[in-house]
Structures are given as structure tokens and as C-alpha cells.
Amino acid sequence: MTTNENSSLLEITDLATSVTERPDVKILKGINLSIKPGEVHALMGPNGSGKSTLALTIAGSPTYTVDRGNVSYKDEDITHMAADQRARNGIFLSFQYPTAIPGVTLVNLIREAIKARTGEDVSAREFIAQLRETLGRLKMSEDFARRYVNDGFSGGEKKRAEILQLGMLRPELAILDETDSGLDIDALRTVAEGVTTLRDPNMGILLITHYERILNYIEPDFVHILVGGNIVASGDFDLAKRIEGEGYDPLLRELNISEEEALI
């Protein structure tokens, strides 16, 4: 199923979630969000506001249960679709804390992921050609791709590995959960340049971040502020600059949101 340039790639309507093992713990409380192909949406908010929960819910994590609302992707309701099926359909999630997999190289992981996504076993020649082309675009070496997944990687290397996977899998929706977390300025610039290189008019991006600094390199089309499980404000890059300069408190006072209401 495909989308046209006027339709939404991702449409979230009145989405409310709770923790699956603790249904009394409500996280998201009525999220509405629409992302079209080619758009970059930045999602900002204080710690514990529900940003990663939204990312994991879109990706289909069983950690959270949808209590109300729905998630539509390419005009199909995927609210209760399994996570692996969502991934095969072109939804990519880069994790805030990528897991190390000793003994498994990035090359092998990516090749198996492509096979799972397409249902076809791509030839070695075709795969290597695609890998070299992607590594070249991202200014990465083949030696990096042959290392064990995140084993002994620095924070920047872990995020670069995620970007390499993004480039090889070519998803239609990329959810980048705090890609800038723990990076120094040089690593941040390298990762941001990688994301910018991979931007595509057919791919929508949801970029989750605490800080405005990565948005200086990946300028978003839209910025959303998530507080207490709700999107309380949306705007353009100027909204992110305001948060960077003032913090969240002035905006919350302007919106008459109390400290208690800001907590999940």
C-alpha cells in the first residue's frame, strides 16, 4: 500500500496508552499527530513526558497497551499489528540505548534485516554493492560495518551504526529516539550529517530529542512539545529555539499547565 504526496504517512488519533503490566499507569493521554512523506517532525519534552513511549507504541512494543485511539500507517490501521510486521512494512526505530550483540557483525545483522523486510535473500554481490554505496554516502569505512554490533562501541559509534542500518533498510517512516543522547559535538555533527544525507522525499522522520542542538543540523518542518502525555504545543523551528532559550516553564505557565499536570 502506498501514499500520495497529499496523504499522511502516519496518522495518530486520540492515542492513549498504559503500561501493559501495570494498567493503572497511564502514559499517553490523547495524542494526535500527522506525518506526511518527506516531512521531519521533532518531538521535544522534559524527562518522563512520554516521548519514548510514543516511539515504542508506534513501533508496536508490547510494553504498552493502547487504551484508546488508533495508529494509521499508509492508510492502514496498525494499532494492534505486531512489531515485526510493522518493521517489514517500513517502520524503523533507532533506540535511545542500542543493545550490544557480541559475535554478530553489523554486516550480518543488516543482511538478515533486509531479508526479513523484503522476504527475499539478496545476492552477496548486490548486498555488498548497496553496502559500499551507503557507507560511501555516510563517510564510513567497511571495517566499521564488519565489527560486532555495538560491542565496545562508543556512544557516537552506536548511533552511527543505527544510521547505517537506516540507510540500508530504507524505511518509509524513521523514528529516531534521542539520537543525540550522550554525544559530544563532533559525534553529534557526524550523526546529524548522516541523517541529513539519508533524507528522502518518500520518508517521514519523527526525531525525538531533549535539546534544540541537533535541530541546528537537521532543521525540522514541525516541532511538537510533549508534556505529561499530551502534545501541548506545535510550531516550527522557532518553537524549539524558544525552548532552548527559556526552558519549558514559561511555555507551561502560558498554557496554564501546572507542575502536577506536567507529570505522567
How far apart, in whole angstroms, are the C-alpha atoms of residue 1 and residue 14? 24
pLDDT of residue 120: 86
The radius of gyration of the chain from alpha carbons, rounded to an integer in Å, stands at 18
One-letter amino acid at 149 equals V
What residues does each domain of the chain span? 1-32+59-81, 90-219, 222-264
Residue 214 DSSP code? G
- 37 near 8, Cβ under 8 Å? no
Q: Which fold has domain 90-219?
A: Rossmann fold (3.40.50)
- 165 near 110, Cβ under 8 Å? yes
pLDDT of residue 5: 53
127's grid cell: 548486498
pLDDT of residue 212: 80
How far apart, in whole angstroms, are the C-alpha atoms of residue 220 and residue 216? 9
- Written as tens digits, the pLDDT of the chain (264 aa) is 445 556 899 999 999 999 999 999 999 999 999 999 999 999 999 888 999 999 999 999 999 999 999 999 999 999 999 999 999 999 999 987 889 999 999 999 999 999 998 888 889 999 999 999 999 999 999 999 999 999 999 988 999 999 999 999 999 999 999 888 778 888 888 889 999 999 999 999 999 998 788 898 998 999 999 999 999 999 999 999 999 999 999 999 999 988 778 877
- 144 near 194, Cβ under 8 Å? no
pLDDT of residue 135: 95
How far apart, in whole angstroms, are the C-alpha atoms of residue 71 and residue 66? 9
Nearest C-alpha neighbor of 181 from the set 57, 97, 59, 93: 97
